[in-house]
A = this chain, B = another copy of it.
Amino acid sequence: MFNATIRVFIVDDHPLVQEGMRSLLGNEKGIELCGYAMTAQSCLGYFINNSADVILMDINLPDMNGIDLCKEIKTKYPGIMILALSTFNQGSYVTRMMENGASGYVLKNADKKELLEAIYEVNKGRTYLSFEAGQAMRKDSESGQIPVITRREKEILILIAEGLTNPEIASKLFVSPSTVDSHRKNLLAKLNVKNTAALVKFAMDHQLM
């Protein structure tokens, strides 16, 4: 299997970007575009009966966020390498994609050379971070890790951000207001913020909801 053709699958909902990829990668010797999807669902559907070596994955998909899709793919098909693509350069985003199994992170303002290099590196099982992504990640890890939020906490966080009070959230989730209050306190403690305003800001900055 030395120097075998790398089968690349693209997941991106922007036809322009798709077209750009095809145009950029289509004539490459060692690369074969084996398919593409515009949504997370159709991507998952494809891999039921097919495979690929590397997935170029946009983080902002219409039906699911890249982090969750990444996790799901890596759980089901650990052999497929994922290269995350994003317009944004949020440190926490990079970190979380990597934590969920991505092998690389490239910004969409990468050129052909960088994109190819990333694909080859990732295909070899190595990690590729574009310069800016690496910077962002380092900056992020300096300021401590991103705390892990549980499913319930996330649920409550979203309702808090919608403007619901503890009693309102409680009745919506069929639990006691005390419970909601506990979760809220845990969120404040975990994310190291001192009140609701800072909580929502932090959560939005770090894409926790």
Interface residues of A (CB under 8 A from B): 13-24, 60, 87, 108-112, 115, 160-163, 165, 193-201, 204
Contact = CB atoms under 8 A, between A and B. Distances in A.
A110 B87 CA distance: 17
Contact of A197 (B14, B18, B160): B160
A193 B16 CA distance: 38
B198 A162 contact: yes
Given A163-B197, A196-B196, A23 B14 contact: no
A63 to B, nearest CB: 13
Contacts of A17: 14, 16-17, 20, 108
Contacts of A160: 197
Binding site secondary structure of chain A:
helix
Given A19-B24, A200-B200, 13 more contacts: A14-B87, A14-B109, A16-B110, A19-B21, A19-B112, A20-B23, A87-B87, A161-B200, A163-B194, A163-B201, A196-B197, A200-B204, A201-B204
A198 B204 CA distance: 12
A98 B11 CA distance: 31
A110 B17 CA distance: 10
Contacts of A60: 87
Nearest to A158: B201
A19 B15 CA distance: 12
Contact of A16 (B24, B194, B198): B24
Given A22-B23, A23-B23, A195-B163, A15 B112 contact: yes
Contacts of A115: 16
Contacts of A21: 16, 19-20
A162 B21 CA distance: 39
Contacts of A204: 200-201, 204
A89 to B, nearest CB: 11
Contacts of A19: 19-21, 23-24, 112
